[in-house]
Amino acid sequence: MLTLKTLEDINLLEESVELECKLAQGQDGNGEVPKDFWPTYSAMANAQGGVVLLGVREKAGVFSVAGLNNPAKVRADLFNTLNNRAKVSVNLLNDADVLETRIDGKSVLVVSIPAATRKQKPVYLNGQPLGNTWMRLNDGDRRCDDETVKRMLAEQVEDERDARILTGFGMNDLDAESLRIYRQMLRDEKPGHPYLEQDDADFIESLRGWRRDRQTGEAGLTIAGLLMFGKWAAIQEAMPHYFLDYQERPEAKTELRWVDRLVPDGTWTGNLFEFYRRVYRKLVADLKVPFALKEGQRQDDTPVHVALREALVNTLVHADYTGRVSVLVVKRPDMFGFRNPGGLRLPIEQVLRGGESDCRNRILHQMFLLIGLGERGGSGVPKIYSGWKSQHWRPPALQEKPEPEQTLLMLQMADLLPEPVLVHLRNRFGSQFEDLDYIGRLVMATAAMERVVSHKRLLEICGAHPHDLSLLLARLVRQGLLESDGKSRGMVYFLPGESLPTPDQVFVGPTFPSVVAGSVGSSSEYSEASSEHLAPSSEHLAVGSEDVPGSGGRDALGRMLSAHLDAPIVDNLEQLEPRFLAVLKAQAEEPCQKAKLERSRMEEVILSLCQDQFMTLSVLSQLVCRNAGGLRQQYLSPMVKAGLIALAFPTKPTHEKQAYRAVPGARPREATDTPPEA
């Protein structure tokens, strides 16, 4: 753990870990564990862990140390409650996790809360998991809904999520051709295997696709058997949320446009085995990786082929097929993306190290292993990383998202230190750049390539220790090689002169209509994203640069123009051209008429309003008839985190004049699947 001695140390710590500060003074001023500590304990334990400082005040990102008069008493109270099962379901802390330190001469308790294991989750309060389980999300501690808690409980007790017997399903629900091809692949991989002599019923039973429960006597197909070899109609009936999606996209964009797509549509079985066979061929087609020679023979199975094969199998066998997110595989000219419903069952650090496995669908995993696909003993992800490293590409990005719960793996085909970027940095910074070590150059190159980077993103790229990276970033800022903006975990870094716009620059400073006039384009695109009946009426709203007024900083539709942004801003409804305002109000009619609206529908409305233009929070709240604070918390912030909408001012995420624009191709998360981020 980072040694804490000054307020600056706290700032460094906050940038690299989940950090919460509690005053913990108590009514008598001698200190006590505050009541709001316990939801934070539950929330951090059920997520990625974190650190709580008792005796420190934090207000608007500014820390001050109050200290504890009697830290020993607070420490004793903490452990007494942790060991009371009526109050807390499990104690994750030992003596080394609660340390006393002195910051600016005052005593503070540093409480390090580890992430709970699968067997320990959910970590809940007051003896009842439903309604008393919390989860740490980016914007604070949130009470888990019953569905999330029940999923944690299922993960806790079911080592194999695919072993459950499906009542009423039998051999006639399996696809005979899938079984035949699987047998042939087994024969090619393991000639003479004893399973090959069995009929289909015995063969499926040997694979554990069919089993009998010795305690209850119940017998039938398992989830694994049906998912691997089943027919689409039967799979749909048994697993209503099951869906597989492969998309090949023509450009290096998050845009939902494809040149090839494979989904269960009734023209093929829709089972996992057939999906794997079809998708793997598509992934490696035209793969621009030179073949290798071994003993004079061409080796088509390069480390990159192995990495893609493992990534695909890994996605299928670790998916939670009861989740509301589909399995999604994306191929683009610059990357491969893999997403599965359900989080990781092990800490991400352990997954990257390898050597330990906790597969969600162990029977499915064994079925793939039997025909030579997949890796044993937790070596799959390290093999993916080593395959990518063999090409000197940027390290894969593996991450979890809590809402909805999913795991994302992105494999980019981009160099870590492209020569043109290095030349640019040498020309610009000279000996200052040349004197940097490898990690320093990597940080600078990433900032140059991605324009704005965070501490978290740089950790993924560099593999440095979080504290060391924090110190390096602070040094690069002092030397003038980088600039920074934001606070704590919202801090971002960029090359000098690449600073992002602020609300003050846009709303107070001068605007230059001619600079952005060409970005207005045809505003008929707004209405295509909403309802069909709006499209014809919007054609007359098309506007070009010749329509932009010469003064006043607004276009023909009444939207503000700014040299600092690449799209116009709707900041005042009263300034809008009446017909355009009528179109916007028609798009927002449904939420205004209904006090409650499905999340996917509200997201659809927001995306339609924000197509090709920024909308301020106040304008959006007026259009959809919702409280501004609630709209931001319930919809806008989650949509930003999900990559559906972008901020006009990324360094000021909670500014009252923040504005939002839809990311091209974005769709509501429940209505259409969100692709892996790029």
Q: What is the pLDDT of residues 246-256, one digit of tens each?
A: 999 888 766 66
Taken in order 292, 294, 298, 299, is the CA torsion positive or negative? Answer: negative
User: Is the per-residue pLDDT at 237 higher than 90?
Assistant: yes
Check: CB of residue 581 under 8 Å from CB of residue 490.
Answer: no
Q: Please give the structure tokens belonging to residue 72.
A: 């020993």
pTM of full prediction above 0.85: no
CATH 1.10.10.10 fits 419-494, yes or no: yes
Type of residue found at 296: G
Q: 3-class secondary structure for 257-311?
A: CCCEEECCCCCCCCCHHHHHHHHHHHHHCCCCCCCEEECCEEECCCHHHHHHHHH
Distance, CA of 210 to CA of 170 (rounded, Å): 9
- Given this model, what pLDDT does residue 507 score? 66
Q: What is the pLDDT of residues 495-547, one digit of tens each?
A: 987 756 667 666 654 333 332 322 222 222 222 233 332 332 333 333 333 33
Q: How confident is the model at residue 396 (pLDDT cuts 50, 70, 90)?
A: confident
As annotated, the residues of the chain forming the CATH 3.30.950.30 domain(s) are 7-157
**Beta-carbon contacts of residue 88 (< 8 Å; ≥ 6 apart):** 38, 41, 42, 81, 82, 123, 125
- Given this model, what pLDDT does residue 535 score? 31
Check: CB of residue 265 under 8 Å from CB of residue 276.
Answer: no
User: Is the per-residue pLDDT at 555 higher than 50?
Assistant: yes
Token pair 């600092």 in the structure block, residue: 564
Look at residues 120, 99, 97, 118 and name the one whose alpha carbon lies nearest to residue 108. Answer: 99
- Given this model, what pLDDT does residue 295 score? 53
Average pLDDT over residues 569-590: 93
Q: How confident is the model at residue 317 (pLDDT cuts 50, 70, 90)?
A: very high
Q: Spelled out in words, what is the top-level CATH class assigned to the domain 7-157? A: alpha beta
Q: Which residue has the higher pLDDT, 39 or 461?
A: 39
- 244-412 CATH: 3.30.565.60
Q: Please give the structure tokens belonging to residue 607.
A: 């995306």
Upper half-sphere CA count for residue 477 (Cβ side, 13 Å): 13
Q: Which residue has the higher pLDDT, 643 or 322?
A: 322
User: Is the per-residue pLDDT at 242 higher than 90?
Assistant: yes
- Given this model, what pLDDT does residue 2 score? 53
Report which listed range, 198-207, 517-526, 556-565, 622-631, is most confident. 198-207
Distance, CA of 238 to CA of 205 (rounded, Å): 19
Query: Within a 10 A sphere around the Cβ of 122, how many other Cβ atoms?
Result: 25
- Given this model, what pLDDT does residue 190 score? 94
Q: How far is CA 453 from the centre of its chain?
A: 16
User: Is the per-residue pLDDT at 225 higher than 80?
Assistant: yes
Question: What is the SS3 assignment for 81?
Answer: helix
As annotated, the residues of the chain forming the CATH 1.10.10.10 domain(s) are 419-494
**Beta-carbon contacts of residue 247 (< 8 Å; ≥ 6 apart):** 256, 258, 260, 261, 328, 329, 330, 331, 675
As annotated, the residues of the chain forming the CATH 3.30.565.60 domain(s) are 244-412
Cis preceding linkage at 404, omega within 30: yes
Q: How confident is the model at residue 294 (pLDDT cuts 50, 70, 90)?
A: low
